[in-house]
Structure 1
Amino acid sequence: MASGSNDYLTLSTYTAILHRQLQRDMNQLLIKDKLPVNITEMYLMVLILESQPISQRRAATTLAVDEGLMTRMVKHLKEIKLINKISSYKDKRVKELTLTKDGEKLLESALSKFDRWWEDFTPDLAGHDINDLGRELFEISKIVLAQRHNMPLNNSRVEES
């Protein structure tokens, strides 16, 4: 990486490149295997799985998608019975999302495709500590969400050091 303020530009650029490659390839795999979700809906389902229940508004903020897109995704996932949307018992105005059993099964299948995508690169990544990088990116994400949205990020998949 370059030194100084360009470090952040470099981090952002290569994170975006990696994400867009994964997103394109995963959407193609999901279509090929006739799974009724796209990668963004899959990200939402992972977030729901790790945070159940999660409010629809919090999910939109965490994934940085506008309320309209979130509403369309939730409507689609509800129609195909992959998620539930219920009013919070604490505040009926808050809509909480949870996965259905079918949603959990579909997510497991989709995540296996995600794992296979990464397995293609495993031999070339031997010198890199992906878990360490994941923990670092998780910490950066927590800081951004806390400062921009006053919202903590919880993720059971990231192991504590």
Structure 2
Amino acid sequence: MAEIKKDYLTVSTYNAILHRQLQRDMNQLLIKDKLPVNITEMYLMILILESQPISQRRASTTLAVDEGLMTRMVKHLAALGLIHKEAAATDKRVKELTLTEDGEKLLDYGLSKVNAWWDSIEPDLKDIDINNLGRELFDISKVVLSDRHQTALGTDRTDSEMKK
């Protein structure tokens, strides 16, 4: 019996399409509701809520955003009073992030918008077990985020190598 080919490209492509559509629609809703955050900052707030405290570096790695963008997001959310940033008790170089009460309130409201977005498409998802799909994507994410599967960025190249 021939082995069935795994269609990783389809999973990757349609996961990206779904993510980008949700991101676009959510950013438009957040602007319409005059909320001071974007969807990427909401993802950070969700990660903080689920992992409190989480180091800023770990949050950057998990969300796959560069450290410069992460720094700007943290400064913005801290200035709005939505998160706290403190040095870890065990290592002062490590910056830990936690949500404030105001951050939790804003996140609750934002997540209600995410749920409404999903509710609007749910009637067209007739035979899809969204909870099982979510669990499977979570399991895939855990594997991708494990140290064993992190891709080295090759930042040790010199400027002259990169100009070639």
Decide: shared fold, TM above 0.5: yes
2:146 is aligned with 1:140: no
Task: List, as ranges, runs of 4+ consecutive aligned residues in structure 1 with deviation greater than 6 Å.
Answer: none
Higher RCO (Cα < 8 Å, 6 or more apart): 1
Alpha-carbon displacement from aligned partner over 1:36-70 (angstroms, at most 9, x marks no partner): 00000000000000000000000000000000000
User: Which residue in 1 is equivalent to 2:86?
Assistant: 86
Return the alpha-carbon distance in structure 2 between the equivalents of residues 119 and 135 of structure 1.
Answer: 19
Distance 1:104 1:26 in 2: 18
**Structure 2 unmatched runs, 5+:** 152-164
Between stretches 125-134 and 53-62, larger displacement belongs to 125-134
Hey, what does 1:52 align to over in structure 2? Answer: 52
Q: How does 1:19-58 map to 2 (within 5 A)?
A: 19-58=19-58
Distance between the aligned counterparts of 2:46 and 2:114, measured in 1?
12
Whichever residue aligns with residue 71 of structure 1, its letter is: T
Match of 2:73 in 1: 73
Looking at structure 1, the residues matched to 117 and 70 of structure 2 have their Cα atoms a distance apart, in angstroms, of 26
Q: Percent same amino acid among aligned pairs?
A: 73
CA distance in 2, matches of 1:122, 1:23: 17
The letter of the residue matching 2:23 is Q
CA offset at residue 126 of structure 1? Answer: 2.5
Alignment partner, residue 121 of structure 1:
121
Number of aligned residues: 147
Partners of 1:119 and 1:12 in 2: CA distance: 23
Partner of 2:14: 14
Counterpart code for 2:13: T
Q: 1:19: how far off? A: 0.3
2:72 match: secondary structure:
helix
Q: Supply the AA of the counterpart residue of 1:105.
A: K
Aligned counterparts of 1:61 and 1:74: Cα–Cα separation in 2 = 14
Measured against aligned partners, the alpha-carbon deviations of 1:86-138 in whole angstroms (never above 9, x if no partner) come to 00001111000000000000000000000000000111112110010011111
SS in 2 for 1:120: helix
Aligned-residue offset at 1:4: 2.0
The CA RMSD measured in Å over matched residues stands at: 1.2
Larger radius of gyration: 2
SS in 2 for 1:121: helix
Q: What is the SS of the residue equivalent to 2:34?
A: coil
Cα distance in 1, alignment partners of residues 53 and 150 from structure 2: 19
Q: Distance in 2 between matches of 1:115 and 1:143?
A: 26
